[in-house]
Amino acid sequence: MTERDAAACAGTGRVGNPVSGIPEPIASRLAAGGLSPDAVASFAALALAEDVAGGIDVTTAATVPAGEAGSADLVARSAGVVAGLPVAELVFWLASRDEPVTTQPRAADGDRVVAGQVLLTVSGPVATILLAERPALNLLCHLSGVASLTRRWVDAVAGTGARIRDTRKTMPGMRALQKYAVRCGGGINHRMSLADAALIKDNHVVAAGSVAAAFAAVSARAGGLPVEVECDTLAQVSEALAVGADLILLDNFGVADMAQAVRLAGGRARLEASGGLSLADARAVAETGVDYLAVGALTHSAPALDIGLDLVRAG
């Protein structure tokens, strides 16, 4: 958090060091999901700072008596898969002043939820609850939307052996959170960054001169990292197999060509379908025998899950 952000958060609680003293239950739930509690807290603090850039919640200050305490429920308005409950909890904690809010999860990340189901109960100063409402819901609705869309894809290919995985098409600053939400929905992650694995794409092939030349060059530099080769044609698939690639991305292949690529590979390489995939065709693609379906839409186009906050007791 910058000094300007800290100033904007003045009066909202732990601005000097927004990540110190995170309650153990919240920190444990984040860490168990593979998230850094400190990193999530820093991101959540920025979300809060953005909402109180003027230094005051004008509406709440005018309508809520000073010192008023109460509780509120975060409620699913539609069915889906929830993700980001400890993230929302952290937003409420960061927004607390002298009298901290308490949070009680009523569901767990990865749960299928129905409309009307209470996901989280928040108790404490009403002004603090309302101050944190929108940043908490923004994150929770988005991450639950990612998890819900992922689950639809996972359900579509159930029983085929194919896995649904994401891409690097994530919102800046939100990659870890979005990929966490994909896991909550039953999907798996591709690389987190360019340093985690090598993916030889069409432009790399052009630069190197051929699939074989690109594979040789990357393999020599990759230091044991996984190396995946993107192929646009069956001829390139054959070339990739010939040089020993054990992971091949089939870019914009039709179902018939995917099936042919599976036959060509004969178990020598794992195959990943990518490009132009739709939920309606997901099962047909999976039934060709590919190992993965790479779906960028999981993170760049997931609709938010409708979740609201209802103040259930005040005064």
Q: Are residues 140 and 165 in the same domain?
A: no
Answer whether residue 16 shows pLDDT above 70.
Answer: no
pLDDT at 100: 84
pLDDT at 229: 95
Q: Are residues 159 and 296 in the same domain?
A: yes
Q: Using CA atoms in the order 276, 171, 73, 80, what is the torsion angle rounded to 10 degrees?
A: 10
Question: Is 188 strand, coil or helix?
Answer: strand
Question: Cα(250)–Cα(77) distance, rounded to whole angstroms?
Answer: 38
> Do 60 and 131 meet the contact criterion of CB atoms below 8 Å apart?
yes
The pLDDT tens digits of the residues spanning 188-215 come to 999 999 988 889 998 999 999 998 899 9
Answer whether residue 104 shows pLDDT above 50.
Answer: yes
Q: Are residues 72 and 163 in the same domain?
A: no
Compare 312 and 300 and report the one with higher pLDDT. Answer: 300
Q: Are residues 166 and 295 in the same domain?
A: yes
Structurally, the chain folds into a number of domains equal to 2
Q: Which amino acid is at 230?
A: E
1 pLDDT band (50/70/90 cuts)?
Answer: very low
Q: Are residues 121 and 181 in the same domain?
A: no
Answer whether residue 314 shows pLDDT above 80.
Answer: no
Closest alpha carbon to 240 in 225, 228, 252: 228
pLDDT at 231: 94
Which two three-digit tokens encode residue 27? 């920190």
pLDDT at 54: 72
20 pLDDT band (50/70/90 cuts)?
Answer: low
The pLDDT tens digits of the residues spanning 227-238 come to 999 999 999 999
> Do 269 and 240 meet the contact criterion of CB atoms below 8 Å apart?
yes
Answer whether residue 179 shows pLDDT above 50.
Answer: yes
Question: Cα(207)–Cα(294) distance, rounded to whole angstroms?
Answer: 24
269 within some domain: yes
Q: Are residues 280 and 207 in the same domain?
A: yes
Answer whether residue 11 shows pLDDT above 70.
Answer: no
Q: What's the whole-number average pLDDT of the chain?
A: 90
Q: Are residues 180 and 46 in the same domain?
A: no
Average pLDDT over residues 164-182: 96
Domain holding 63: CATH number?
3.90.1170.20
Q: Are residues 215 and 270 in the same domain?
A: yes
pLDDT at 96: 86
pLDDT at 167: 96
Question: Cα(241)–Cα(54) distance, rounded to whole angstroms?
Answer: 59
Answer whether residue 3 shows pLDDT above 70.
Answer: no
Q: Are residues 122 and 171 in the same domain?
A: no
Question: Cα(93)–Cα(267) distance, rounded to whole angstroms?
Answer: 51
Query: Cα–Cα distances in Å, from 86 out to 52, 201, 227?
Result: 22, 37, 35
> Do 141 and 304 meet the contact criterion of CB atoms below 8 Å apart?
yes
Residue 231: give the domain boundaries: 154-300
> What is Dmax (Cα atoms) for the chain?
73
Residues labelled catalytic = 134, 169, 201, 230, 251
- Percent pLDDT > 70 in the chain is 92
Question: Cα(265)–Cα(253) distance, rounded to whole angstroms?
Answer: 15
Answer whether residue 291 shows pLDDT above 50.
Answer: yes
Residues sharing a CB contact under 8 Å with residue 134, sequence separation 6 or more, in sequence order: 51
Answer whether residue 19 shows pLDDT above 60.
Answer: no
Neighbours of 157 (CB within 10 A): 20
pLDDT at 53: 83
Q: Are residues 159 and 137 in the same domain?
A: no
pLDDT at 21: 85
Question: Cα(223)–Cα(220) distance, rounded to whole angstroms?
Answer: 7
Q: Are residues 240 and 168 in the same domain?
A: yes
149 within some domain: no
Q: Output DSSP code: residue 210.
A: S
Sheet with 227-231, side-by-side order of all strands: 163-165, 292-294, 270-274, 247-251, 227-231, 198-200
Tell me whether strands 307-314 and 69-76 are parallel, antiparallel or unpaired.
Answer: antiparallel
Q: Are residues 173 and 115 in the same domain?
A: no
52 pLDDT band (50/70/90 cuts)?
Answer: confident
